[in-house]
Each structure stands twice: as C-alpha cells, then as structure tokens.
Structure 1
Amino acid sequence: MDVAGSAAAREGAAHAPPDAEPGHQRKDDVTVGDLLDQAQHAGFGFLFALLAVLSIPAVGLSTPFGLALAIGGVQMVVGLRSPWMPGLIRRRRLPIRLLHWMHETLPRWTQWLARMVRPRLTFLLRGPLWSLCGLAVILQGLGLALPLPIPGSNLIFAIPVILYAIAVLEDDGLLVAICHAIVLGQVALAVIMWDLIVQAVKALFA
C-alpha cells in the first residue's frame, strides 16, 4: 500500500502495532478521503484493498468499512468505473500507527501473489461481468458488516475482497474467476449451515 506508506511517512509517527479504537484520534491522523484522493487513478481496486485491510485489525471498524465496501459494490453493479464514497466514510479518521502497520504488513501478505498476477482474461472485468464482480463485493461487504462473535471472522470476507482488489488493479481475469469460486463456496457453505440451523430448531420444538 504505497499510498498508506507515504501518508504515514509524511506524518512521521513512530512504528507501532495498530490501535484503531474509534474514539482514539490524534491531530496527525489522516482520513479515508485523504487516501482516496491520493489514489484516484487506482479506482475501485485501491478502495477495496484499503477498506478490506483496515477492517482486519481495527476495533469497531469492520461494520462501517463493510458497508462502505457494499456501497462500492453497488456502484460496480450499476456500471461505474470509478468509486464515490459518502462524506461519512471519507471523514473517517485513521490512526497513523494503523497506516504504518498496513505499509509494513500488506507487502508481506501479497508478495507471493504479485509474482503471479498479470493482465489476462480481461473480459471477466468488462460489461455485465464487471457488475458480477460488484455483486460479489456487496456480499463480502455485508458479511464484514455483520458483528459475528467469531475471532478472525473478518478474514473470511476481507481476503476475497483483497484478491478482487488486486485482480481489478492488475486486470487479471483469472484471479477474478478464482475469487468467484471462493464466493460461490461461501454461499454454498452458508446455505448448508442455514439448513442445519433450521433442522436443529425444528427438532428442538418437535
């Protein structure tokens, strides 16, 4: 995340583990809007990567950032090629320590993938199939927005979004297809779990 790294370096904060309590704000914090304005050329790819990564370690931010992802997905569904975010999201302040964490951690997570992605099967990112990507992001965003009482549950939804973001940035249709397969697996698992819950409830009250 070069934009995050440059923002963090510009503010000169000390490197430390992220601390993203919603009420914890410092005058040298930056906003989501600041980062988006610096990366306008990267469009949805940067937006999705930023919001997904921020939702992983941050306390209390997965719900608003998940909803922001869903908003971005809706814009893809209707055919927009560059994102718009409401002021409520753009004004959200981000601790500099969180940006340092992103700058140091994300490259380690994605360096293996960077050697593999390239422009290919680009038709999967065009026309109606672009909207299909948006629908998948909506599902992941809504999943992130759910306050699931499961440690690490954010990763279930954040990782596919990060992969979609890389696919959009690199125009890699093969990676998009892999992401679609992951989402289909999530949907199938959700249907199975829901059926099991319904059957258990019926058995309980039978």
Structure 2
Amino acid sequence: MSEASYPGSDASEGLVARLVHIGETAPEDGISLGEFIEALGERAFGVMLFALAIPVTIPFLYVIPQIVSVPMAALAFQMAAGRNEPWFPEKFRARQMTRDGLVRMGRTASKWFGWMERLARPRLLFLSGHIGERVVGAVFCLFCVSILTPLPLTNSTPGIAVAIGSLGLITRDGLLILLGLLLGIVWIAILVIGGPALIYALIEWGRGIVSGG
C-alpha cells in the first residue's frame, strides 16, 4: 500500500480520535511508519511525538515500542535543534507497524489521554513558543535515552512523560508541558541516583501493594 492510498482520518478530529480511527481502519498486515505519519494529517512535532509515545506507554506491548523509540529520539533532537518541520529518513518510514499494535495504541490513547485532551486549554503560552519548544525538545532527548535503556519501567514512565508534554505542545497548554517534564525529570533522577537496584525495589514494592502483602 502506498502512503498516498492510506485512508487517514479527518484532521479536524481530536488527535486521540484520529489514533483510534487509524487503528480501526488499518489493513490486516498493518501499515508502515510513513503511512502512519501520513494518516495523522499533520507535521507538527507535538502531534508526531504524542502518537509515537503512546505505544511506549503500554506495558508488555512489544515490537512497536522498539520501532518508534529511535524516531522519537530523532524528533526530539530536531525540536532541540530548532527545525520548523519534522523529517524522517526512508529507513524509518519503511518500518512496519502491526494492526493489533495500532488498535491497542488507539485504545490506550482514548482511555488514558482522551480526558486530558478534552480538559487542555491554552495557558503559559511561552512554554509552547519557539524557544520553549527547543527547551522541551532537549529535555525529551533525555527521556528518549531512558526509553532506550533496557531496564523495567524505563519505557513506560518516560513514554507517559513525553505523551503528556507533547499533548501540551499540541494544545498549547503549558501546564501539561510542565507536568510531562516534571514526571520525566523525576524518573531520570531516580534512574541516575538509585540505578537498577532502586527500580527493582520499586517494582517489588508495587507488587506487594497489589498482592496485599
């Protein structure tokens, strides 16, 4: 399937609704990353980072997080460098995304971020301006390094931070941008200061709470 032939959703929809639509209308053999970008209907950094961050936030979803993590880092670097429009090399655009993964992506976006998108509103606008976007991009680069680190939770937590911050960029909601940055920075601090031992301790603590022990 060529990128031009993929039936993208109406760009007037909210971004979460577009992600749901892409998953529901994707062919059985999935679509390429390039086709996915075309279906989003926009070239803004925030839109593309939000969309690519969603599968990273999903626990136990494999393949797609590995496909999108490097392009996420490339986008964050381009933001920090002050580019006006995202660019991907063809080898990234050719990467295949499965239909099941796309459907889970849409469901996750709707469940966890749909309400946030509805509540978002323009505020603290300096954070979503050109200089603010470059600063956010530089911090996102750190989050993407954490995503690429092969330790438990190093995918989901910074992925959520990027998703929240990117949604703030899309809606020009500086409060969401700050929330995303704070979450990711706290996680990076835990990763740097505590290292793997602290991460595993947190996992065991969480399991104890769930099991009632």
Larger radius of gyration: 1
Asked if the contact 2:160–2:180 (Cα under 8 Å) also holds between the matched residues in 1, the reply is: no
1:70 equivalent in alignment to 2:70: no
Quote how far apart the aligned CAs of 1:186 are: 2.5
Quote how far apart the aligned CAs of 1:90 are: 0.9
Q: Which residue of 2 aligns with 1:141?
A: 144
What amino acid is aligned across from residue 140 of structure 1 in structure 2? F
Post-superposition CA distance 1:78-98 (Å, at most 9, x none):
112321112122111111122
Q: Which residue of 1 aligns with 2:3?
A: none
Match of residue 95, structure 1, among 98, 101, 105: 98
Asked if the contact 1:74–1:135 (Cα under 8 Å) also holds between the matched residues in 2, the reply is: yes
Asked if the contact 2:80–2:138 (Cα under 8 Å) also holds between the matched residues in 1, the reply is: yes
Stretch moving more, 42-51 or 57-66: 57-66
Task: Give 5+ residue unaligned stretches, structure 2.
Answer: 1-15, 199-213
Assess, with a 3 A threshold, how the Cα gap between structure 1 residues 32 and 179 changes in structure 2: closer, same or farther. Answer: same
State the percentage of identical aligned residues.
23
What amino acid is aligned across from residue 160 of structure 2 in structure 1? I
Asked if the contact 1:3–1:35 (Cα under 8 Å) also holds between the matched residues in 2, the reply is: no
- Give the match's secondary structure for 2:42: helix
Q: Distance between the aligned counterparts of 1:70 and 1:132, measured in 2?
A: 14
Task: Give 5+ residue unaligned stretches, structure 1.
Answer: 14-25, 198-206
User: Taking structure 1 as the reference length, what is the TM-score of the superposition?
Assistant: 0.76
Quote how far apart the aligned CAs of 1:108 are: 1.1
Asked if the contact 1:119–1:171 (Cα under 8 Å) also holds between the matched residues in 2, the reply is: yes
Quote how far apart the aligned CAs of 1:179 are: 2.1
What amino acid is aligned across from residue 122 of structure 1 in structure 2? L
State the Cα RMSD in Å. Answer: 2.3
Stretch moving more, 158-167 or 45-54: 45-54
Assess, with a 3 A threshold, how the Cα gap between structure 1 residues 103 and 191 changes in structure 2: closer, same or farther. Answer: closer
Q: Distance between the aligned counterparts of 1:191 and 1:8, measured in 2?
A: 36
Post-superposition CA distance 1:15-73 (Å, at most 9, x none):
xxxxxxxxxxx3xx111111211224251122112221223353244344222111101
Q: Distance between the aligned counterparts of 2:37 and 2:143, measured in 1?
A: 20
User: Taking structure 2 as the reference length, what is the TM-score of the superposition?
Assistant: 0.74
Asked if the contact 2:146–2:188 (Cα under 8 Å) also holds between the matched residues in 1, the reply is: no
1:190 equivalent in alignment to 2:191: yes
Q: Which residue of 2 aligns with 1:131?
A: 134
Q: Distance between the aligned counterparts of 1:178 and 1:8, measured in 2?
A: 28
Assess, with a 3 A threshold, how the Cα gap between structure 1 residues 109 and 122 changes in structure 2: closer, same or farther. Answer: same
What amino acid is aligned across from residue 36 of structure 1 in structure 2? I
Q: How does 1:20-99 map to 2 (within 5 A)?
A: 26=29, 29-41=30-42, 43-55=44-56, 56=58, 57-99=60-102
